[in-house]
Amino acid sequence: MVLSFAFGIGWSTTSSCFAKEISKSTQEEWKLPVPRKKSRVSLEKALNLRRSSKEGFSSKELKEKEIGQILWAARGVNRPTGKLTSPSAMARYSVSVYVATEKGTFLYIPENHSLLSISNRDIRKGIGTQEYVKTAPVILIFVADFSKLSEFSMTRKISFVSAEAGAIGENVYLQCAALKLGTCFVASVDKEFVKRELSFKKDIDPLFIMPIGHSR
Ligand SMILES: Cc1cc2nc3c(=O)[nH]c(=O)nc-3n(C[C@H](O)[C@H](O)[C@H](O)COP(=O)(O)O)c2cc1C
């Protein structure tokens, strides 16, 4: 059963620390704060600030509103049609965004702007093979569902989902730049570890990751 609750009920405030707040929740689906659609950072400024941060991350946690904002930028709904901030081959939405945190791993649900609990375990140290990735408070995992592209050859499937993940990744880079957070698009993923930990079936493949945090 999936339970959801409105933002603002009880404990949830826009400045709260994500890891602390989510640990208080017994809900399976966590509604994120409404994302901002305006800011003082221009697109040009965000482009100028965009970079890969590989120096590692400080222990400072991310705020719930920061995580919500980044997920909306990555894969949120931006039109009444229900279409998203990043494009998708034939609008199949074959790439989903998972969020690995200290309190477990969650699946971002664009239509509800919410996080669905997938696992209670902290898998952050095993996802990436590079040491700096393991210091991130949050790691996004871009996961392909090849079954949504069943009529295509594997070569085309891979090109579609890679392009889709790349578009999501650039949105994450720009939103992180605007929020003064560090991130990096990373292909060095221990795929077998992620598949095992998150009980992914055949056809479900973790493609890339993006560690996010305050750069050291
Ligand atoms: C497809 C792709 C895969 C990447 N994989 C990794 C990776 O596994 N580890 C890493 O530290 N950086 C990775 N990067 C980040 C690049 O190293 C980085 O973008 C490049 O050095 C240019 O730096 P910049 O992003 O700051 O401009 C990857 C980037 C792309 C586009």
Q: What is the pLDDT of residues 98-124, one digit of tens each?
A: 999 999 999 999 999 999 999 999 999
Does 98 reside within a domain? yes
**With the C-alpha atoms ordered 153, 157, 158, 160, is the resulting torsion angle positive or negative?**
positive
> Any bridge partners for residue 117, and if so which?
106
Does 12 reside within a domain? no
Q: What is the pLDDT of residues 10-46, one digit of tens each?
A: 223 345 666 666 555 556 899 999 999 999 999 999 9
Does 170 reside within a domain? yes
pTM equals 0.91
> Any bridge partners for residue 44, and if so which?
none
- In the chain, the amino acid numbered 34 is V
Query: From CA 153, how far away is CA 110, in angstroms rounded?
Result: 28
CA of 185 to the centre of ligand 1 (A): 5
Query: Domain containing 110: what range?
Result: 18-35+45-213
Helices 64-75 and 154-178 meet at what angle, rounded to 10? Answer: 140
Mutate to test the pocket of ligand 1, among 50, 161, 184 (most ligand atoms within 8 A of CB): 184
Asked whether residue 183 carries a pLDDT value surpassing 70, the answer given is yes
- The per-residue pLDDT for 18 is 60
Q: What is the pLDDT of residues 121-150, one digit of tens each?
A: 999 999 999 999 999 999 999 999 999 999
Residue 39, φ and ψ in degrees, nearest 5: -155, 175
Does 10 reside within a domain? no
Cα–Cα nearest to 184, from 49, 19, 50: 50
- The per-residue pLDDT for 76 is 98
Number of domains in the chain: 1
CATH number at residue 111: 3.40.109.10
Query: To which H or E segment does residue 168 belong?
Result: helix 154-178
Kindly report the protein residue whose alpha carbon is nearest to atom 13 of ligand 1: 186
Does 7 reside within a domain? no
Cα–Cα nearest to 74, from 163, 148, 158, 175: 175
* Ligand 1 proximity of 51 Cβ (cutoff 6 Å): yes
* Ligand 1 proximity of 36 Cβ (cutoff 6 Å): no
Query: From CA 7, how far away is CA 12, in angstroms rounded?
Result: 6
CA of 67 to the centre of ligand 1 (A): 21
* Residue 125 neighbours by CB under 8 Å, 6+ apart: 134
Asked whether residue 176 carries a pLDDT value surpassing 80, the answer given is yes
